[in-house]
Structure 1
Amino acid sequence: MSEEFGAEYWEERYRGHSAVHSGRPNPQLVAEAGDLAPGTALDAGCGEGADAVWLASRGWRVTAVDIAATALRRARERAETLGADVAGRIDWAQADLTGWTPAEEHFDLVCAHYVHPAASREALFRRLAAAVAPGGTLLIVDHHPSHPQTAAAHASAPKAHITAEELAAGLDPDRWDIAVAEARTRTATDHHGHEITLHDAVLRARRSAA
């Protein structure tokens, strides 16, 4: 798994395509964060920046982190085309989430979408949860095991798939209120232009204010 999801893997993936993602924000982010009051946000594994740009356009101050230099360059360029009101709200950072530790209790929103670190994902999620400020929100969206197309894409890495219940189990119930922990489907278009159905595991939780 370390070879599949290391820096070389991601850089090669982005360099091999003119655009890996659609350029639209993740629909689960839109659904779960659309009503939140803007504050500080961490977008962990930001890729080409669609989620960070969406948050910034809604007034969030965003720290957007990714391992791939090519992805960050594209993300920064896209944000700059939207003007200073958006680009000026985003701080881009290149870092390997496998060992990167964000500031604890710092962000009003911490989100991660389909993040596959080279090492322990459980350890990463613990660090992301620790970065949420009291009263803040943790949003994790990942590949659900039920989708065979996704499973086939990463057949050598079964830990690339997880259920929302497994994600929720890693949070202390005395410190977190689970708002959403469920499987959802969404449609997307693959690189061949075909519409496909994807299965997501969605966790949204609020950290206790006290």
Structure 2
Amino acid sequence: MSDRSSHWDRVYATKGEDEVSWFQNSPSTSLAMIRAANPDRHSAIIDIGGGASRLVDALLQDGYRDVSVLDLSANALDAARTRIGSAAATVDWIVADATTWRPAKAYGVWHDRAAFHFLTDPRDRAAYVERLRSAVAPGGHVIIATFAPDGPEKCSGLPVQRHDGASLAAELGAEFALIETRSEMHHTPWDSTQAFQFSRFQRRGS
């Protein structure tokens, strides 16, 4: 974990939240897909690799009561905590590596925008999926956004593994049914574009 966390701590220590390529003023696609999963307001929702993302702000504004944000970087989570002020006390902030983390409870929605695609080693992807399986309740939803097959090959100086819905389905296995995919052309703060894909799965069972 140390090399990964050190990298992202350096990024967030030297750049503002709106100075990184993945910054979104409004995480509209993520929020739309969470709403499409239709969790009730007390469902547990976790944002994997959420960092300083503004999704947590939007979820709290939508009235969700059980929100967690996991990230490798304590600096990123500190930035988010500072931004949302007193509401931060209602959020579970988790500094951890999603490939080694031990979930303490089950979640109704697992959301990940741009964390999974950094896992270029198949062993890391398998470890991530193992944690996902232990964390997502039967009937729960998994939303994973990555660079699309025609998206960038690197981000923040690191190589990425690009995906589409089919490749993510193969990683998650038959236990998770692919419900929908959406494409997004993300505009970076310096007005370049990056092709993303979002895939939503539902864990079989009830």
Could you state the TM-score of these two structures normalised by the residue count of structure 1?
Answer: 0.80
Q: Could you say which structure has the higher helix fraction?
A: 2
Structure 1 residues 157, 187: closer, same or farther in 2, change over 3 A? closer
Counterparts of 1:41-56 in structure 2, within 5 Å, are 41-56=45-60
The aligned counterpart of 1:179 is 179
Distance across 2 between alignment mates of 1:156 and 1:65: 20
The aligned counterpart of 2:134 is 130
Q: Could you list the per-position Cα deviations for residues 49-87 of structure 1 after superposition, in whole angstroms to 9, with x for gaps in the alignment?
A: 41122222222211111111211111101121xx54xx3
Distance across 1 between alignment mates of 2:134 and 2:143: 13
Structure 1 residues 134, 98: closer, same or farther in 2, change over 3 A? closer
Structure 1 residues 176, 158: closer, same or farther in 2, change over 3 A? closer
Q: Which secondary structure state, in structure 2, belongs to the residue aligned with residue 187 of structure 1?
A: strand
Q: In the alignment, residue 203 of structure 1 is paired with which amino acid?
A: S
Structure 1 range deviating more: 16-25 or 127-136 = 16-25
Does residue 203 of the first structure (1) align with residue 199 of the second (2)?
yes
Q: Could you list the per-position Cα deviations for residues 90-147 of structure 1 after superposition, in whole angstroms to 9, with x for gaps in the alignment?
A: 111211223112246x101011111135861232133224311122111111112312
Distance across 2 between alignment mates of 1:177 and 1:41: 19
The aligned counterpart of 2:159 is 157
Q: Which secondary structure state, in structure 2, belongs to the residue aligned with residue 47 of structure 1?
A: coil
| Unaligned 5+ runs, structure 2 | none
Does residue 94 of the first structure (1) align with residue 122 of the second (2)?
no
Q: Which secondary structure state, in structure 1, belongs to the residue aligned with residue 153 of structure 2?
A: helix
Q: Percent identity?
A: 24
CA RMSD of aligned residues (A): 2.6
Distance across 1 between alignment mates of 2:44 and 2:114: 21
